Amino acid sequence: MLTATHLTKVFAGDVRAVRDVSFTLDPGRIMALVGESGSGKSTLLALLAGQADADTGNIRLDGVRVPGPSEVLVAGHPQIRLVPQEYQLMPNISVRENIAYALRYFEKGYRDFRVNELLRLCRLTDVQGRLPRQVSGGEKQRTAIARAVANKPDDGQSTVLLLDEPFSHLDLPNRLIVRDLLFDLVQHDKMACLLVTHDATDALSIADSLGVLRQGKLIQLDTPANVYRYPTTAYAARMTGAATILKAKHLPVLNLPGGDNPEALVCLRPEQIKLSEAGVGGTVRAVFFRGSYSEVDVEVSRYVCLRLLTTRTDLRAGQSVSVDVAAESLWWLKGG
């Protein structure tokens, strides 16, 4: 188990990249951290991987403190494996040799066995002889993951897999392959996995827990379902999916009670808003076709534009519709 306690990292110029972040990573579980650009995701990963020194706080793996780079000859920790955003494969050796390099201290028989196993698991067998520049982005990503997990720890020792934006350069089919691969690896080897991303779409479906990073602070940490349904702030709501954020003073337009504080914010997810004959009148502003459903923006007043989901295919911009929001589906946010 990896435990991060009160981690803080301040760069020159008083840039507080990571601020008092604490959490634990459990074996066989995936945690995702989502945050906008500059929220401190890469800096936090560098701290966890032992590649940057924390100003305060500490990281422990199975109870033993992980030293920062200033305390050791070679930065990093053998059981904490980082897959960087740009993969950092060795350019002049093949996919197979890149993976085998992580096993260079093992005898050849085991090395060949393990590399073949990983090639199969990561669907790289057919491209194993090619150089990194001769394979696709998805194949590079999977090579980097295979290399990171190649060297299994001894029995009873934890391994932690850290991934920086693992889905950002990949098309949809490759994102699904990597998502399934991570799921299998974590289950199979009982690794603890932390991935950081600015796009929660894939994280929602794969993570056991989801954290929201804002300006270096971990502002919410819960199951993906709870963060999605009960975000603490408008930022957490927007980082985890489509949301309509309204000021309470505009709720009466929707025939909903406005509460005591007119400036308070409420969050509505698209699936909580229904097209209904008996609802409040509005005008379709835009229709975004998503395949099995469409996202539709409906303007109810100058200040109230709702995003909802529908399987209807007859909606067009400018069309009049009625919408209904159940009072019990309103979620009151604690801030912006």
Ligand X SMILES: Nc1ncnc2c1ncn2[C@@H]1O[C@H](COP(=O)(O)OP(=O)(O)OP(=O)(O)O)[C@@H](O)[C@H]1O
Q: Where on the chain is the footprint of ligand X (CB under 6 A)?
A: 11-12, 15, 17, 35, 37-43, 198
- Whether the CB-CB separation of 296 and 288 falls below 8 Å is answered with yes
Which of residues 11 and 288 has its CB atom nearest to ligand X in the complex? 11
The residue with tokens 């109230």 is 304
Supply the minimum distance, in Å, between the C-beta of residue 11 and ligand X.
3
Copy the structure tokens of residue 206: 């794969």
Query: Which of 137, 262 has the CB closer to ligand X?
Result: 137
- Residue with smaller CB distance to ligand X, 18 or 102: 18
CB of 236 to ligand X, least distance (A): 15
Query: Are 18 and 174 a contacting pair, CB within 8 Å?
Result: no
Q: Please report how close the Cβ of residue 78 comes to ligand X at its closest, in angstroms.
A: 24
- 3-state class of 144 per DSSP? helix
Q: Is 36 helix (H, G, I), strand (E, B) or coil?
A: coil
Nearest approach, Cβ of residue 245 and ligand X (Å): 22
Least gap, CB of 81 to ligand X (angstroms)? 18
Torsional sign, CA 245, 246, 247, 251 = negative
**Which residue, 124 or 144, has its beta carbon nearer to ligand X?**
144
Q: Which is nearer to ligand X, 167 or 307 (CB)?
A: 167
> E strands within the chain?
2-11, 15-25, 30-35, 56-61, 64-65, 80-83, 160-164, 192-197, 209-214, 217-222, 244-247, 265-268, 273-289, 294-301, 304-310, 320-325, 331-332
